[in-house]
Amino acid sequence: MFGLIGHSTSFESARQLAQSLGFPEYAQGDLEMWCSAPPQLVERFSVTSATGRTIEGAYIDSVFVPEMLSRFKTARRKVLNAMELAQKSGIDISALGGFTSIIFENFNLLKEQHIRNTTLEWERFTTGNTHTAWVICQQVEKEAPRLGIDLRKATVAVVGATGDIGSAVCRWLSQRTGVAELLLVARQPQPLIDLQAELGGGRILSLEDALAEADVVVWVASLPQGLTIDVANLKRPCLMIDGGYPKNLDSRAAGDGIHVLKGGIVEFHTDIDWQTVAQAAEMARPFRQMFACFAEAMLLDFENEHTNFSWGRNNIQLDRMDWIGAASRRHGFQALGLETETIPSLATA
Amino acid sequence: MPFLDTTSPAPAAENDGLPDFASSAYKSAYSRINAIVIEGEQEAHDNYIALGTLLPSEAEELARLARMELKHKKGFTACGANLGVEADMPFARDFFAPLRNNFQKALTEGKVVTCLLIQAILIEAFAISAYHIYIPVADPFARKITEGVVKDEYLHLNYGQEWLKANLDTIREEFDQANRDNLPLVRRMLDGVAADAAVLQMEKEDLMADFLTSYQEALTEIGFTSREIARMAAAALVG
């Protein structure tokens, strides 16, 4: 059995979800109440692979909302309790979705293995980052040519290059795609220098300078609040893959010739009969589309690979991306692409 | 999931140090918290013995559980003495009055399910979560005692769970009513000791969240559905 650990995108949407699920007490509760509320296993469903294999899954709402991010102890407790619930529910492999993997990583929850009388078994959890990184790379390789961008002549900027997903994307792009130039953008100078040495290339640039040069921008860091993008400064056409969380790039970088694609999202070959997940995730096609990290838990279950496949930081190697990518194709997932109508050359063709 | 490396929320400082166990503020708060624990163990003993009158075939097992509670009471009394604190027993008796009254009323009416919910599920789940939160911030003497106690309390919770599980088909209505009548009391009781608990570095939000986690787990074991559980737990949060 696989599990998805997630949360609503805001306190307001969480309350609406509670109302629609028939929990008026939660819908009317204030943020303080929500901080004390324990995680809930809200939904069970089955998923059938393109190979015909069916597996069972569950969605665990951590009852975390982004408004709790500034409350360290609350955020930590929410994630650990949701993981404990997944384990106690007998779920073999769960993906940490949304902010939960970010909290796990940034708050160093690896040292919090014991909660009450439970020892968390890390092999039951995955960040899903390997699949997310693979999907983002597929999106770059497939969508750039559709916009007339030849990757062999293109400059690709990776914003958040030193993160777990960012570094994997850089490895893939530099070794597998032969992009003309890779621009590395991140906050901390030293990890950037280390990454550049590991890759044996790539140019370290500020965000502003990188944006001015890039034909393709892969965002795997979320945008700092208040950051504005000078759209006039961008190349045309420009493919922007919004692989951060939350996904808010489309509202900040819209314009002619700028194509923003939600990164790290996959579409399944058939509808999945889930209601709560569909409502919580806010996808365009909510019964088929999902975060690639969630899909990784399904893939690991389909493959009987019940291990923490994506774990720790900067461990994602290309052979692992190959493996998860092959599984992704085999079981009927495909990376989200640009809508044809948003590409003028294709829409008029 | 994408890793944020530009807007990572900064972790607040964690508790580095333990409280000053010798300070007058600590001792004052401890006099009430310690009394609650001592009184709680005494009432647990009395409640298990009383339950034996409703379940004569279980009386022997219940008496065994009751004896464990008295042992715990002795241990916690020693914790107070170790810090040179006199437990404020009148405060503790008042503290438990609403739950005690509900238990006694159910007992006279022969309501086994309500009695088990109050003592073997609700109070035990609360004790377990509170002890788990206390252990990392306790003085070394109390820590050792509490670690021993918490293991026993799981046995008590398990006893209630098993009985209710075996009778799930017939208990739903009474359980639901008993939940509605008693779960809101937990929050009010918690409000009454939140300031003292904070002096012991035990935060109200943690206590409530962990209590509900233990409570939900117990309800899961009994066999309630996720939906019933979420609805019942809400009674503690908004009651």
Q: Which chain B residues touch A159 with a CB distance below 8 Å?
A: 6
Of all residues in chain B, the percent with pLDDT exceeding 90 is: 83
Q: Quote the pLDDT of residue A205.
A: 97
B window 31-50, beta carbon within 8 A of A: none
Q: Which chain B residues touch A69 with a CB distance below 8 Å?
A: 9
Q: Quote the pLDDT of residue A219.
A: 95
Q: Quote the pLDDT of residue B53.
A: 97
A102 touches B at CB < 8 Å = yes
Q: What 3-state class would DSSP assign to A239?
A: strand
Q: What 3-state class would DSSP assign to A305?
A: coil
Exposed (0-12), middle (13-18) or buried (19+): which is A287, by Cβ within 10 Å?
middle
| Predicted confidence (pLDDT) at residue A230 exceeds the cutoff of 50 | yes
| Predicted confidence (pLDDT) at residue A248 exceeds the cutoff of 90 | no
**Contact between A166 and B4 using a beta-carbon 8 Å cutoff:** no
Q: Quote the pLDDT of residue B4.
A: 39
Q: Quote the pLDDT of residue A345.
A: 58
**Contact between A41 and B226 using a beta-carbon 8 Å cutoff:** yes
| Enclosing H/E stretch for A291 | strand A289-291
Q: Which chain B residues touch A102 with a CB distance below 8 Å?
A: 1-4, 8
| Predicted confidence (pLDDT) at residue A107 exceeds the cutoff of 90 | no
Q: Quote the pLDDT of residue B112.
A: 97
A342 versus A276: which is more confidently predicted?
Answer: A276
- Closest by CA position to A239, among listed A312, A171, A179: A179
Q: How confident is the model over B140-172, as pLDDT tens digits? A: 999 999 999 998 888 888 999 999 999 999 999
User: CA neighbours within 13 Å on the CB side: how many for A160?
Assistant: 27
Predicted confidence band of residue B10 (pLDDT cuts 50, 70, 90): very low
- pLDDT average, residue stretch A188-198: 96
**Best residue in B3, B201, B221 to probe A by mutation, most A CBs within 10 Å?**
B3
Q: How confident is the model over A149-163, as pLDDT tens digits? A: 999 999 999 999 999
| Predicted confidence (pLDDT) at residue A136 exceeds the cutoff of 50 | yes
A34-43, A46-55, A253-262, A303-312: least confidently modelled range: A253-262
**Contact between A100 and B9 using a beta-carbon 8 Å cutoff:** no
- Comparing alpha-carbon positions, the chain B residue that sits nearest to A44 is B226
3-state DSSP helix/strand/coil percent for chain B, to nearest 5?
Answer: 80, 0, 20
Predicted confidence band of residue B28 (pLDDT cuts 50, 70, 90): very high
**Best residue in A20, A25, A134 to probe B by mutation, most B CBs within 10 Å?**
A25
Instruction: Give A54's strand partners.
Output: A48
| Predicted confidence (pLDDT) at residue A318 exceeds the cutoff of 50 | yes
Regarding an ipTM greater than 0.90, the answer is: no
Q: Give the CA distances from residue B166 to residues A102, B171, B172, B223, in Å, rounded to whole numbers and listed in that order.
A: 42, 10, 12, 9
Q: Which chain B residues touch A165 with a CB distance below 8 Å?
A: 2-3
Fold entry, domain A131-264+337-347: Rossmann fold (3.40.50)
Q: Which chain A residues touch B136 with a CB distance below 8 Å?
A: none
B216 touches A at CB < 8 Å = yes
Q: Closest CB to B3: pick one of A32, A69, A164.
A: A164
Q: Quote the pLDDT of residue A349.
A: 41
Q: Quote the pLDDT of residue A73.
A: 92
What residue segments make up the domains of chain A, in order of their start? 2-129+267-330, 131-264+337-347
Q: Quote the pLDDT of residue A342.
A: 63
| Predicted confidence (pLDDT) at residue A347 exceeds the cutoff of 70 | no
A window 218-277, beta carbon within 8 A of B: 220-225, 243-245, 263-264
Q: Quote the pLDDT of residue A142.
A: 97
- pLDDT average, residue stretch A24-40: 92
Interface size between A and B, measured as CB pairs under 8 A? 151
Q: Could you tell me if A44 and A89 are in contact, meaning their C-beta atoms sit under 8 angstroms apart? A: no
Q: Closest CB to A77: pick one of B4, B154, B209.
A: B209
Predicted confidence band of residue B3 (pLDDT cuts 50, 70, 90): very low
A61 versus B10: which is more confidently predicted?
Answer: A61
Domains, chain B, with CATH or none? 21-237 (1.20.1260.10)
Q: How confident is the model over B75-106, as pLDDT tens digits? A: 999 999 999 999 999 999 999 999 999 999 99
**Contact between A105 and B5 using a beta-carbon 8 Å cutoff:** no
B16 touches A at CB < 8 Å = no
B213 touches A at CB < 8 Å = yes
**Contact between A81 and B129 using a beta-carbon 8 Å cutoff:** no
Predicted confidence band of residue A344 (pLDDT cuts 50, 70, 90): low
Q: Could you tell me if A128 and A294 are in contact, meaning their C-beta atoms sit under 8 angstroms apart? A: yes
